[in-house]
Amino acid sequence: MLQTGKMLPLVLAAALLGPVAAQPSGQTLAPSEGASTTKPAPAKRPTKFVKKHGQLRVEGTQLVDQAGKPVVLRGLSFGWHSMWPRFYTEETVQWLKEDFNCNVVRAAAGVESGEKNYLKHPDFSKEKIRAVVDGAIKANIYVIIDWHSHNINLNEAKAFFAEMSKAYGKQPNVIYEVFNEPDYESWPEVKAYAEEVIKSIRENDPDNVILVGSPHWDQDVHLPAADPIKGQSNLMYTMHFYAATHKQELRDRTEAAIKSGLPIFVSESAGMEASGDGPLNYAAWQEYIDWMEANKVSWITWSVSDKDETCSILKKTAASTGKWKDEDLKESGLKVREYLRKYNVEK
């Protein structure tokens, strides 16, 4: 996610992206119009999600399971481990499965930002990421190991993913995200970086899915669509949206990329502005949900954290090990739980 303190990059991004990033937030509904007024019961679905769907792969533009049937992953991303490490527990993962109906979670390894970032504290960082991965394996859901950075740190990324793929390469639960959100890097730069990191992963893990970012905070998916990585299988490309900022233009751009043959995974999204703050735009968020469901696109919502901003789904009262009450959830937390309970239902 774009850090809320970096508003200058947002302004520059608007200039670079034109109508996509610069769209006005449009209609913002009052909570009574978009938020659920009743507490929905957790939906019934198989408790052994990975056991049922097994090894994932990419066929054409679609994520499919071990039987070759389309599968859609829906879940939550943890906030930067370097800022909110207290939530990086196996118990939190289990609660996200039980109460939110997540079939996937995303562990965001904060590379540069935060006091406990990866560049300064690699051992602490890997310990936190492993806690979430181990929790997902025990909970029998999928997990994304996310290199959460806006800059290229090639040597560090190669070492990190080499270690993670060696440890977890035989687990069908694991998906690798090699570059969260490139900001001002060109696609040739991102592509060259990704190719090197993919090699490090494939030395240990020949088949788990790998996610690749695109320039301008995962907005410019048309660039990899025109020049995708060759010679590798089970790759998908990430698109990120914040519904009060990014509108129909981004969906059109992404749909065109899919039609051209590019597999898309929405590894980060939410219903407010791209700053992570401001009111939720329920109508715009629902439009994205409808679009992703219609196209069988997997999606992750940001984030499991307790920062004083809209996109952090938790209040300061939330325990580090789950078991949250409704009173511990912010408006965005209540809404995303409603979405996950509604859509993560096995037929």
Pick from 194, 184, 196, 143: which is nearest to 167 by CA? 143
Rg (CA), the chain: 18
Q: Which CATH superfamily is domain 58-343 in?
A: Glycosidases (3.20.20.80)
Active site residue 181: yes
Question: What is the pLDDT averaged over residues 303-319?
Answer: 98
Question: Would the pLDDT of 343 be above 50?
Answer: yes
Q: Single out the catalytic residue among 177, 181, 185, 273.
A: 181
Query: Is there a cis peptide before residue 82, judged by omega within 30 degrees of 0?
Result: no
Q: Does 163 qualify as catalytic in the annotation?
A: no
| Model pLDDT, residue 16 | 36
pLDDT at 25 over 50: no
Angle between helices 154-168 and 187-202 (to 10 degrees): 30
How confident is the model at residue 2, as a pLDDT? 52
Residue 278, sorted as left (phi over 0), alpha (psi -120 to 50) or beta, turns out to be: left
What pLDDT does residue 47 have?
73
pLDDT in tens, 45-88: 557 999 999 999 999 999 999 999 999 999 999 999 999 999 99
Domain ranges of the chain: 58-343
Q: Supply the pLDDT for residue 1.
A: 56
The active-site residue out of 90, 177, 185, 268 is 268
Predicted confidence at residue 44, as pLDDT, reads 54
Q: Report residue 331 as tokens.
A: 């408006």
Distance CA 344, CA 42 (A): 10
How confident is the model over 33-40, as a mean pLDDT? 47
Q: How far is CA 128 from CA 110, 135, 137, 176, 312, in A?
A: 11, 11, 15, 16, 19
346 vs 183, higher pLDDT: 183
| 41 pLDDT more than 80 | no
Per-residue pLDDT, 187: 98
